[in-house]
Amino acid sequence: MSASPPDLTLLPATSVPVEDTTAPLRFSFVSLVTNPEQYTAMVESFIAKGFTTDICEYLYGDNRGGNAFDGFSGLNRLIRAARGTYVICLHQDVVASDDGIDVLEERLADLHRCDPNWGVAANAGRVGKQYHLRISDKHGMQRKRGDLPSQVNVVDENFFILRRDRLVFLSYDLKGFHLYGLDIVLKAQALGLTAYAIDFLVTHMGAATVDERYLACQDQFEAKMEKLMPNRVVQTLAEPIELRGHRYRFFYRSLRRYLRRQKILRRAERQKR
């Protein structure tokens, strides 16, 4: 006569369910803050659109006294702390527009139906030379470009959404405040997930900046990815990232940096006039 199997409920151990249904909140908004006025406007605008504090939380990394929270490691810290079913990473200078919580819930439900393996969703993205976006910004109000929803290879950092049950983190060996929208998509794709631009309108009060800090992020990103990928050009929302593994890499990088700096200088001169 065989012995009865041990009763696992008597052990100091816990059975984990197949699906994670423990998220106490619907949405977690995570941001890095340098400007309290902008951040206050952001939080108040989303609460007014139905993202109330009984179902949402607003977490921030306090950079008012300096960059204690980096764009990569700092956001990872906030993502780990988030308790929502969905984690929304957004700039402090983004405010809610016409679309509220009901619209976002509908867009995410549609995404689950068309692609259960999506891992990142954003209001703006790009694949190749084609932009897919829904945004109000300095280039125009209520802009819509490309097909939505549409699968993309990079998302804009102003507003993107992660899933708690398919949670993706940013690289731990990169630093800065640029290109994490590309990094998060590459991480998702490496895990077998997809990224989409969706039809959800927000207003971005700021503007993208390609400056020396951007170029520094670009260099470190390419140096990292060249070790992992064959020759490839990845289109970001601003500038293409060239991943070259051949012996002319240094020449191409130096030439490109020179041309980018000249472009930055010309832009600065125009702004002074």
Residue 247 has a pLDDT of 42
- Distance between CA 126 and CA 185 in Å, rounded? 11
Domain positions in the chain are 25-204, 212-268
What is the per-residue burial (b if ≥16 Cβ within 10 Å, else e) of 7-31?
A: eeeeeeeeeeeeeeeebebbbbbbb
At 82 the three-state DSSP class reads: coil
Which residues 6+ apart lie within 8 Å of 195 measured at CB? Answer: 118, 119, 120, 121, 122, 125, 151, 152, 153, 154, 155, 184, 185, 188, 189
Residue 29, both tokens: 């908004």
Per-residue pLDDT in tens (0 to 9) along the chain, 273 residues: 578 889 988 999 988 888 776 678 999 999 999 999 999 999 999 999 999 999 999 999 999 998 899 988 999 999 999 999 999 999 999 999 999 999 999 999 999 999 999 999 999 999 988 999 999 998 889 999 999 999 999 999 999 999 999 999 999 988 877 788 999 999 999 999 999 999 999 999 977 776 677 777 788 887 787 777 666 666 666 666 666 554 445 545 555 666 666 666 666 566 555
DSSP states along 4-34: PPP-GGGSS--PPPSS----SEEEEEEEEES
CATH fold, domain 25-204, is Spore Coat Polysaccharide Biosynthesis Protein SpsA; Chain A (3.90.550)
Q: What is the pLDDT of residue 248?
A: 44
Q: Where are the alpha helices (DSSP H) in the chain?
A: 36-48, 73-81, 101-114, 180-190, 212-226, 249-272
- Confirm if 84 and 55 have CB atoms less than 8 A apart: no
Q: What is the predicted pLDDT for the residue at 260?
A: 66
pLDDT for 207 equals 72
What tokens were used for 53?
A: 């504090």
Terminal CA-to-CA distance of the chain, rounded, Å?
93
Tokens of 121: 């969703």
State how far the Cα of 201 lies from the Cα of 136, in Å rounded to an integer.
Answer: 7
Q: Give the per-residue pLDDT at 130.
A: 93
Q: What is the pLDDT of residue 221?
A: 80
Q: How are the residues of the chain apportioned to helix, strand and coil, as percentages rounded to the nearest 5?
A: 35, 25, 40
Amino acid at 139: H
Answer for the pair 154, 181: CB distance below 8 angstroms, yes or no.
yes
